[in-house]
Amino acid sequence: MKHEGFPAKWKPVRRQETRPKKDSGRGAGHALLGPALAAPATLWLLLAFAAPVVVVLLLSFQPEGDAFAPLTLVPSLDQYKAIFADPFYARTLLKTTLLALGVCLASVVLAYPLALWIVSLKAKWRPLAIAAVLTPLLVNVVVRSLGVELLLAPDGLINDLLGVLHLPKAPHLLYNYGAVGVGLAQAFLPFMVLALYDVLQSAPPRVLEAAESLGASRPVRFFAVELPLSLPGLRAGVTFVFLMASTTYVSARMLGGKIAWTTGMVVWQEVLENLNAQFASALAMVMTVIAVAASLIIAVAARRLTPWLAQRPARALALPRPVVAAIDAVLPVLSKVLVVLTLGLLLLPLALVFVQSFNDVPQAAMAGFKGFTLRWYRQLFASGLYLDSFWVSLKLAVAAALVTVLIATPAAFSLVRTRFFAQPLIAGFWLMPISLPQIAIGVGMLRLLQVWTALPAFVGLLAVHVTVTLPYCIGVLRASVLGLDQSLEEAAANLGAGPVRRLFLVILPTLAPGLAAAGIMAMLLSFEEVTITSFLTTARMTTLPVRIYAEASYSLEPTVFAVSTLMIVLTVLAMVGLGKLVRLDKVFAR
Amino acid sequence: MTVSRRQFGKLVLGAGVMAPMGFVRRATAAPKPGDQLVVGIWGGVQERIVREFCVAPLEAKYRCKVNLVLGGTPERRARAYAERGRPSFDIVYLNIFESRQAMKDGVTQAPGPQVPQFAHLAPIAKVGGYGVAINPITIIYDKRKAKKPITSWKDLWNPEWRHRIAWPAYPSAEGAAGLLMTAKVWGGDEHHMDVAFDRIKALKPFAALSSSQDELYQMFDTGVCDVAIEFGSLSRKYAETRNPNLVIATPMEGQAAALNVACITQGAPNQKLAEEWINLHLSEPCMLAYARQTYYSPTVDNVTLPADLKPKLISSQDMGKLVAFDWDTVNKSQRQWASRFNREIAG
């Protein structure tokens, strides 16, 4: 039997049918509509993002100097020469890139079975599964890293399990690149799962049925049909995971034990410990170039692998018989194992966080259950310190989500419904906060601290958080706007509805799942943001992640687990509440 | 209400005249209700102690608000440097060599008698700011794994500790102590560090590199390492509460001097409150709370220590035995040493 992929000129019919005409907004009366819709996002990023980036760029071309060396406008390549002349930095950049690639690979292998499993679930269970994937995102990166530590520690869960099974223990799971990789995969898996879920659930059923009726087994159907169809989602997921993993430093510091070095850690050390912002900036710019190059490579690879999206002929995929036989034999079992493993990786650290919040140990990182106590909850409510930070984070996350959705929605419409001069340039500019390592923005912010602290603390933090969340939400909303059925709007117009009525009665209700998805994404990203915020947070405005991160640098008590457990419970309740209004599985599906 | 062009012009002119007033501060303004003192300090037990013995009395006395910015020294120091001249912090807590450099760099003020407890400070605690805790760094080890007690820094090179050391990451107070004590005992000094790097390299591979106390104590708990270089004070607390097998060594060459220093920033918005804060930190109740809860030794001579605490703390006589270094050289060399450490020891 010969298994073939797509017909030569296959194209995703359903998506094509619903896609609106791109030039529908063009017209003499609408000449300014595109720029006007794009203006809020552009202005916001110019003020809150471009300034620190320009500072970083300027600093990277400064000669060697102390912390107070005056800035010169005569560019110097000293810092870049120092980076490229020293094999240590080349090695660190290479190791970090390989680490990020490994995390991408692991995320892909783990995320596919889970995403397929969620797609295969009955409709009533899907929101629960999506909630399980989303919940880890609300737990701070420090706490999640601690959860991974508790998993991998010499007396952690894995070694306990090995002991129960009378297998030799693995005492060296922590403080190496492997541990960092596990931590990063755990942190970024949800994004990969959601990206894949989105495309997999929208795969045309008739194509899947056609494959099945042609005799393709379930595993073969995956390789021949679902995998190629999901490549756009895979591209988005891989790009995101690579960018985040290649610029990490918080998880790397905690799980790598300063033996596993990443470029982010070197930037952190140079700017904070050595007060060498010039060198740190140059290194951050090199990281940016690598990130942009990686994004381009991923984009080119994705384009080559999905010729049908550009109306180009696709080569048929033929799987040799032995491969088919092997796939059929192994994949059904392997996929089940991987689903369990992935759920375990996502949820076990959270379960450990929950258990540890009742553990009578003096220190957060101590593994092994020593006795039940409610002491950490009592301490949490008695001191109120974490709760203050929790409220700050919550208010900030809600405000960031609202502002982001307000700005991102017109931006998405300007991308999809209008064409105007410099539009591609502006669209590229909107994506820059993703491409640039967040630590680089932090370095720039540190230099602008005097200006920044002149702003009200909440406004300053809000400006930065919206910068972080905006590119993701524009992406989510762009897809949602693209999926709007314009015939409904035309029908409403024909029936006499003006633009405002069409907006409130047709467009916004249809767009509601997209708006909810963007809002949730913005809230999650804001709630866990620590990289830039730790450079900016002030005494009056300490967010929960920054407070936890700050304490982790000295001594962390299990109170952090108590507050994290409360957050998990609140998240689940919020998801349940949200589930009553919007189906979560629909929210993350276009 | 409408505003005429002439009225608008007057308003702009008035705002222009008044604007510079916003930048002018009274040098030593008296504290008034509603003032906000900003203090950058470590979290955990330190936060709890200062909240009880500094925050509460200060807020009660002046009806002001004290804001604590918690975190590690690097973030705090970097922000204080970034804000030099117009700081958002009134006080930052730094370590012994960072505080001296910050004062030289014009980031923080020299200490002075305007803080009444300054008169009682030990000489070592009067440089670079107000020393608030003597906190020397030494070797700690698991006595079950020792063939004989550690009595010298050179004992780290004994075969029994091979591959069992958690070496402190550099830059940090513990990392600097590890490097400098190694240089000292093997014939080098701050100006001749090759010997230190070579000797430390000879100890590789390490069981781990430690970058925080939490992490290190967990390594002892789980048997990842058997010996390390760490603050004796906090390690004593750890030994008493969790690890009875841990020994805090007293090497014959001495323990490395380390100090927590409270520094008032140059141009601190709340100078008087900052001085009063430091006086409260140096007061007997606060010093005793630190001594009891963390075994940090007092830096002032007008504190009466309970008999049970005396043997666990550094007395004023013992302060002279602590090994101090040329901190200017340590500061100047940090970038170079960190770079070497990353390549030769951590990498």
- Dihedral of alpha carbons B262, B268, B270, B275, sign: positive
Confidence band, pLDDT 50/70/90 cuts, at residue B199: very high
Identify whether residues B147 and B244 lie together within a single domain. Answer: yes
| B230 in Cβ contact with B216 (< 8 Å) | yes
Identify whether residues B61 and B158 lie together within a single domain. Answer: no
In a domain, B5, yes or no: no
Mean pLDDT along residues A147-154? 85
> Rounded to an integer, what distance in angstroms lies between the CA atom of residue B228 and that of residue B167?
6
Q: Which of B39, B44, B218 sits opposite A554 (nearest CB)?
A: B44
Number of CB pairs < 8 Å for A and B? 146
In a domain, B27, yes or no: no
Give yes or no for residue A587 having a pLDDT over 80: no
Identify whether residues B166 and B262 lie together within a single domain. Answer: no
CB atoms B79 and A274 under 8 Å: no
Mean pLDDT along residues B163-184? 95
Q: What pLDDT is recorded for position A589?
A: 56
Rounded to a whole number of angstroms, the distance from the CA of B257 to the nearest CA of chain A is 19
Give me the DSSP letters along B163-185. Answer: T-EEEEPSSSHHHHHHHHHHHHH
> Rounded to an integer, what distance in angstroms lies between the CA atom of residue A359 and that of residue B314?
34
Mean pLDDT along residues A29-44? 86
Rounded to a whole number of angstroms, the distance from the CA of B304 to the nearest CA of chain A is 28
CB atoms B209 and A258 under 8 Å: yes
Identify whether residues B116 and B145 lie together within a single domain. Answer: no
**CATH number, residue B277:** 3.40.190.10
Q: What pLDDT is recorded for position A10?
A: 34
- Probe site for chain B from A274, A278, A279 (most B CB atoms < 10 A): A274
Identify whether residues B163 and B291 lie together within a single domain. Answer: no
- Probe site for chain B from A449, A532, A556, A557 (most B CB atoms < 10 A): A449
In a domain, B30, yes or no: no
| A440 in Cβ contact with A281 (< 8 Å) | yes
Winning range, highest mean pLDDT, from A130-144, A408-422, A440-454, B94-108: B94-108
Identify whether residues B149 and B198 lie together within a single domain. Answer: yes
How does pLDDT run across B8-62, given as a tens digit for each residue? 556 555 555 554 444 444 446 688 898 999 999 988 789 889 999 999 999 999 9
CA distances, B98 to each of B90, B116, B128, B146, B339 (Å): 17, 24, 8, 35, 18
Winning range, highest mean pLDDT, from A221-235, A395-409, B213-227: A395-409
**Boundaries of domain holding B240:** 137-256+325-346
For residue A154 the two structure tokens come to: 């010499």
Q: What is the enclosing helix (H) or strand (E) of B14? A: helix B5-23
Question: Which residues neighbour B292 within 8 Å (Cβ) at sequence distance 6 or greater?
Answer: B309
- Dihedral of alpha carbons B80, B84, B87, B93, sign: positive
How does pLDDT run across B128-161, given as a tens digit for each residue? 999 999 999 999 999 999 999 999 999 999 999 9
Q: What pLDDT is recorded for position B272?
A: 96
Identify whether residues B249 and B302 lie together within a single domain. Answer: no
Q: What pLDDT is recorded for position A195?
A: 85
Q: What is the enclosing helix (H) or strand (E) of A105? A: helix A87-120
Mean pLDDT along residues A30-57? 89
Give yes or no for residue B6 having a pLDDT over 70: no
Q: What pLDDT is recorded for position A588?
A: 57
Give yes or no for residue A30 having a pLDDT over 70: no
CA A577 to chain centre: 24
B338 chain-A contacts, CB cut-off 8 A: 269, 273-274
| B90 in Cβ contact with B38 (< 8 Å) | yes
CB atoms A274 and B171 under 8 Å: yes
Judge if ipTM > 0.90. no
Give yes or no for residue A78 having a pLDDT over 80: yes
In a domain, B8, yes or no: no
Identify whether residues B163 and B178 lie together within a single domain. Answer: yes
Rounded to a whole number of angstroms, the distance from the CA of B87 to the nearest CA of chain A is 8
Confidence band, pLDDT 50/70/90 cuts, at residue A21: very low
How does pLDDT run across A386-418, given as a tens digit for each residue? 788 888 888 999 999 999 999 999 999 998 888
Give yes or no for residue A307 having a pLDDT over 50: yes
Residue closest to B230 by CA, chosen among B120, B136, B331: B136
Rounded to a whole number of angstroms, the distance from the CA of A132 to the nearest CA of chain B is 30
Identify whether residues B230 and B339 lie together within a single domain. Answer: yes
How does pLDDT run across A250-294, given as a tens digit for each residue? 888 888 878 888 999 999 889 888 889 999 999 999 998 888 888
pLDDT exceeding 90 applies to what percent of chain B?
72
CB atoms B71 and A175 under 8 Å: no
- Probe site for chain B from A79, A88, A175 (most B CB atoms < 10 A): A175
Confidence band, pLDDT 50/70/90 cuts, at residue A3: very low
| A537 in Cβ contact with B25 (< 8 Å) | no
Task: Provide the residue type at A146 as one letter.
Answer: L
Bridge partners of residue B91, in order along the sequence: B39, B264
Q: What pLDDT is recorded for position A26?
A: 46
> Rounded to an integer, what distance in angstroms lies between the CA atom of residue B167 and that of residue B176?
11
Mean pLDDT along residues B206-221? 87
Give yes or no for residue A12 having a pLDDT over 50: no
In a domain, B21, yes or no: no
User: A435 versus A563: which is more confidently predicted?
Assistant: A563
What integer best gives the mean pLDDT of chain B? 90
Q: What pLDDT is recorded for position A373?
A: 92
| Helix pair A544-552, A141-152: axis angle to 10 deg | 40
The count of domains in chain B is: 2
CA distances, B298 to each of B6, B96, B322, B327 (Å): 65, 15, 15, 22
In order of their start, the domains of chain A are 35-62+71-587 (1.10.3720.10)
B260 chain-A contacts, CB cut-off 8 A: none
Confidence band, pLDDT 50/70/90 cuts, at residue A11: very low
Q: What pLDDT is recorded for position A5?
A: 34
Identify whether residues B198 and B100 lie together within a single domain. Answer: no
> Rounded to an integer, what distance in angstroms lies between the CA atom of residue A245 and that of residue A530?
15
B46 chain-A contacts, CB cut-off 8 A: 554
Identify whether residues B108 and B202 lie together within a single domain. Answer: no
Is B56 within 8 Å of chain A by CB?
A: no
Identify whether residues B151 and B221 lie together within a single domain. Answer: yes
